[in-house]
Structure 1
Amino acid sequence: MCRKIEINFKKVPPELMLILEIIKREKIDEITTDYLHEINWDSFLQLALHHRLYPVLYTKILKNEKKLFPEWILQSLKQHFRKNTFKMLHLCGEMEQVSKVFTEHKIRSLFLKGPILAVDLYGDISQRTCGDLDILIPIEDLDKANHLLERIGYKKDEYIKSLLNDWKWRHHHFTYYHPIKNTKIEIHWRLNPAPGKEPGFNELWERKRKTTITGFPSYYLGNEDLFFFLVTHGARHGWSRLRWLMDIHQMLKTELKWENLIELFKKYQSVHIGGQSLVLSANLMDSHLNKKMESLIKGQRSIKLAKDSVFYLERMVNLHTDPVQKEISEFHAKYLFSLMSIQQKVVYLLSLLHPYYTDAETLPLPNRLHLLYYPLRPFLWILRKTRKHALP
């Protein structure tokens, strides 16, 4: 058993701590009821929905013999639970269709999350939420995939603005919407955006697994690759939704090959991130940590990152909805930088010298002169700052 590192959660809302207490316990009848009258049940429901923990929460409360919670809370959770179950069933059908289309046109695809993850980690499609399908394919197949998705009714969201092909490393996925089915798909060519280091597609494909939840064969990440992806993905978002940490908790119950996993984290300069996830999971989910995991949480860096992420638990942070509050965006920028290794920080700082699409908006130039944006970039940056300060 690894040592448990204590983290201060005093400023985390009591409603969120109650949710975690319910999820951790086998029998929630054992929960102390003295403080329940102080719970703001509206906040309790909002936090359950925000952190996407309501499927597991509803299942736990449903088994409860005592009437510890208001009836309207149970009914609201039930409504969201049923809606999510139907959504997951719909995504299962969509996953099978897309997998079939891609396979027939010789596009190798790996499903990163979605219904596959619900069954793999929770044993039940209804126990995890999912808003879209995330599919990883080789970067050379992006054009073919785009054509096929448009053929079956999907529309590409052209939100990515690029200059000199910087989309290949500044971003990691394109988004597609089906206006009739109301379904969203993200086509990934990387697990995470640069400057993060990660396994290549061919390496991931060699270790793939096949799911049994669809009639047509669909594939997803191998056990250790999935853990690596979930850890790096959750860390990049500051664990601002505890569903991601719940996934880690569930994975820690499985038979992971820790020797291989530790080598994976070392190879891709993410040992401290792996350690952060273990510290948080042990403290918030009471995850059992064994001796094999110790090398990931040696030193202070993992502990500091875990303590930093408490910032996101003290408030309901949604990093995907603009505008993000200034306090949160500034903290998140510093936090992301702190996740990087020294090598990644150097690459990131050098990437700031590469032209952005905003440079082209500031000074439009014909395509044949786009290389001039490299020497002009510092001046265009100063010009934008000057204009910004002059606006008020």
Structure 2
Amino acid sequence: MRAEAMELDLSGLPEELIFLLSLLGRTSPDQHLIRELGAVLDWDRFMKLAMHHRVYPLAYIKLKEAYAASVPPGVMESLHRQYQSNTVKMLHLSREMSRVYERLDEAGVRTLLLKGPALAFQLYGDLAHRTSKDLDILVSPDEVERAEDVLLQLGYELMDYRALGNWKKKSHHLSYEHKEHRTQVEVHWRLNPHFSKSYSFEKLWERKRAVALANQTFHCLGNEDQLHYLTDHGARHGWFRLRWLMDIERLLPQISGTRLRDVLKQHGGKHHVGQALILSSQLLSAEIPGELEELARDAKARRLADQALFYVSRIVQLNPVPEKSVAWHYYRYLFSLMSTRQKIAYLLNKTLPSSRDALLLPLPKPLYFLYYPLRPLLWFWRRFRQQSA
């Protein structure tokens, strides 16, 4: 059931985005509408939106199945090339996922896969229907170093600068890249960088689910933990890619309201889930299960959904660093996502020195204590350099 009381004002969305949303939603447009729109759409902008939102595989499939005759040949050819390229990349990622997962398992490192090929298969039934730029894995905080040893043995290199001893507290993942084929792997030991109540890895492991792919079984987050993680991730990034909302729309039928309420009671995040429900309902015609409707009626979730439309309707980059045109708008939005406790923890964490401080101003180890009083100056210096770049 759709959350009719939570209607969003979509009048400001460009026609090309409305058309893209109609292709991706549960109710596809009819042929008459396609012909009408085809005559007035800016197809270059449509392609830019499909690529930016990382939904071009599904857009290509939908257009090819029923509407190819109404689309300029050049657009279909471009979408086809991108679809084929993504298929090759996802097959490569899948093979590398299998290799990394197997070696971690042999080393005794318990691993939960986040997003990537496993999520593509779980939600879409076909690796080629979703895009992924890297592999994300979650391990116990106590097993991060062992996971790193495995990756180094496989030919990966650490891409993050790690100088100070508080890196596990300051961050929630490390990035690695293979020296030859440039595959990227992120090793997470925490799901959220902004210090919400941290999940216990042991609890996540108890609730894990198995995904069978290519005669191999992988472990992933349980459905309700997966929804909590995906909505938190999407909210933190302003839902600036529709791909993340497509994941929510596909995952909703697999969710138990009772188990989800237990997860939200333990870890918070109901406003993020409500925001995702509203956006997926209004933009993609997703059906909200009756037992989750209350979350979509939440007033704060509605405000957050309105705020996210600012990013959905534009072609903007918010990750890893928001572009200048929206930077302060995004930081205010990011802060509005947090509870009072999270805001306090976030601000306190900002007072702690980071490895980036050591990179900006290298000091000998006996003088590391100076990073504490110098922290505000280094933070402003780094921000100034980013804005000036």
In the superposition, the TM-score normalised over structure 2's length comes to 0.91
Inter-partner Cα distance in structure 1 for 2:51 and 2:323:
20
Inter-partner Cα distance in structure 2 for 1:363 and 1:82:
45
Contact 1:155–1:178 (Cα < 8 Å) also in 2? yes
Aligned pair 1:9/2:17, yes or no? no
Question: Which residues of structure 1 form unaligned runs of 5+?
Answer: none
Contact 2:2–2:281 (Cα < 8 Å) also in 1? no
Map of 1:16-27 to 2, 5 A cutoff? Answer: 16-24=17-25, 27=28
Q: CA RMSD in A?
A: 2.4
Letter in 2 for 1:13: P
Deviations 1:115-171 (A, max 9, x none): 11111111111111111111111122222222211111112113x455451x21332
SS at 1:217 equivalent: strand
Which of residues 335, 338, 342 in structure 2 aligns to 1:337? 335
Identity %: 39
Aligned pair 1:351/2:353, yes or no? no
Q: CA deviation at 1:335?
A: 0.9
Letter in 1 for 2:334: L
Alpha carbons of 1:100 and 1:359: their partners in 2 closer, same or farther (altered >3 Å)? Answer: closer
Q: 1:326 maps to what in 2?
A: 324
Q: 1:289 maps to what in 2?
A: 288
Alpha carbons of 1:215 and 1:25: their partners in 2 closer, same or farther (altered >3 Å)? Answer: closer
How many residue pairs match? The answer is 383
Contact 2:3–2:281 (Cα < 8 Å) also in 1? no
Aligned pair 1:91/2:93, yes or no? yes
Contact 1:132–1:183 (Cα < 8 Å) also in 2? yes
Alpha carbons of 1:148 and 1:69: their partners in 2 closer, same or farther (altered >3 Å)? Answer: same
Which of residues 119, 123, 127 in structure 2 aligns to 1:121? 123
Aligned pair 1:143/2:145, yes or no? yes
Question: Which residues of structure 2 form unaligned runs of 5+?
Answer: none
Letter in 2 for 1:307: D
Inter-partner Cα distance in structure 2 for 1:41 and 1:270:
38
Alpha carbons of 1:101 and 1:241: their partners in 2 closer, same or farther (altered >3 Å)? Answer: same
Q: 2:303 maps to what in 1?
A: 304
SS at 1:86 equivalent: helix
Inter-partner Cα distance in structure 2 for 1:241 and 1:97:
29
Q: 2:252 maps to what in 1?
A: 252
Aligned pair 1:169/2:164, yes or no? no
SS at 1:177 equivalent: strand
Contact 2:94–2:117 (Cα < 8 Å) also in 1? yes
Alpha carbons of 1:136 and 1:61: their partners in 2 closer, same or farther (altered >3 Å)? Answer: same
Q: CA deviation at 1:38?
A: 2.0
SS at 2:217 equivalent: coil
Map of 1:158-197 to 2, 5 A cutoff? Answer: 158=160, 160=161, 163-165=164-166, 167-197=167-197
SS at 1:7 equivalent: coil
Contact 1:2–1:293 (Cα < 8 Å) also in 2? no
Q: 1:232 maps to what in 2?
A: 232
Contact 1:96–1:215 (Cα < 8 Å) also in 2? no
In the superposition, the TM-score normalised over structure 1's length comes to 0.90
Contact 2:133–2:184 (Cα < 8 Å) also in 1? yes
Q: 1:200 maps to what in 2?
A: 200
Comparing 5-14 with 355-364, which one deviates more in the overlay?
Answer: 355-364
1 or 2, which has the higher helix percentage? 2
Inter-partner Cα distance in structure 2 for 1:321 and 1:224:
27
Letter in 2 for 1:182: R
Deviations 1:90-115 (A, max 9, x none): 11111111111111110111111111
Q: 2:278 maps to what in 1?
A: 279
Aligned pair 1:74/2:51, yes or no? no
Deviations 1:182-230 (A, max 9, x none): 3111111111213222422111111112221133432111111111111
